Chain A
């Protein structure tokens, strides 16, 4: 199975700053079938990015996904208060469709 390792575990930033999350895969994710999700406390995850770099419907352009092969990043520019949440990456090319362990973005 493809193991996804996210870093850092926690990111402490202030509104207005930029956040960068890393997701590293144990083997290449073919066709960049890599997604990012945002999860707020007590809520279901929400799809942000698919295909490594395509934004889902309604996701603002402050959210940018990049990467290929085994290394992927999600960048959020100009952090807003509602962005503070947990972010998960997922590969959906190879069953089991694994997730990273998540990165918590907290207010500094």
Chain B
């Protein structure tokens, strides 16, 4: 199993960013794809996730209204879009796979998003 994420980006405050996570090596639709971020020098923070075969995402309340998570079963890719970016959103964003109500057993390599004027 491999999760390969899109590359680093620099964004302006107020803009949006969309990060992709392409999965290979296993059945895509029945697993959950979670998004976790880590600000510089900080801990891990779960943002939300989706099980592609169910289609309905689950968002952390802190990100509700600003994050959109979806998945394309045809390409085995999960996406996370974060809008209204502010400097505090500067972080490494990870996708991580799990079964429903399971630990995160595979992780992408991380995508650094820098929000700067």
Contacts and interface: CB of A to CB of B under 8 A. Distances in A.
Asked whether A and B interact, the reply is yes
Interface of B: 34, 36, 42-46, 49, 58, 60-62, 94, 96, 98, 101-105, 107-110
Contacts of A97: 34, 46, 49
Nearest to B46: A97
Contacts of B46: 96-99
Ranked 9 nearest A-B pairs via Cβ: A44-B107, A50-B103, A35-B103, A96-B60, A99-B44, A101-B43, A97-B46, A102-B43, A47-B105
A44 B45 contact: no
B43 A47 contact: no
Nearest to B102: A92
Contact of B109 (A44, A92, A99): A44
Contact of A33 (B49, B101, B109): B101
B104 A35 contact: yes
The A contact surface, by secondary structure, is loop
B115 to A, nearest CB: 20
User: Which of under 10, 10 to 19, 20 to 34, or 35 or more describes the interface residues of A?
Assistant: 20 to 34
Contacts of B62: 96
Interface of A: 1, 33, 35, 37, 44-47, 50-51, 56, 88, 90, 92-93, 95-102
Residue with the highest number of chain A CB atoms closer than 10 Å, among B58, B96, B104, B110: B104
Contacts of A35: 103-104
14 contacts: A35-B103, A35-B104, A44-B94, A44-B96, A45-B44, A45-B96, A45-B107, A56-B103, A92-B103, A96-B46, A97-B34, A97-B46, A97-B49, A101-B43
Nearest to A44: B107
Residue with the highest number of chain B CB atoms closer than 10 Å, among A35, A46, A51, A95: A95
Contacts of B61: 1, 96
Nearest to A100: B43
Contact of B44 (A50, A88, A92, A93): A88
A71 B105 CA distance: 22
B101 A92 contact: yes
Contacts of A95: 58, 60
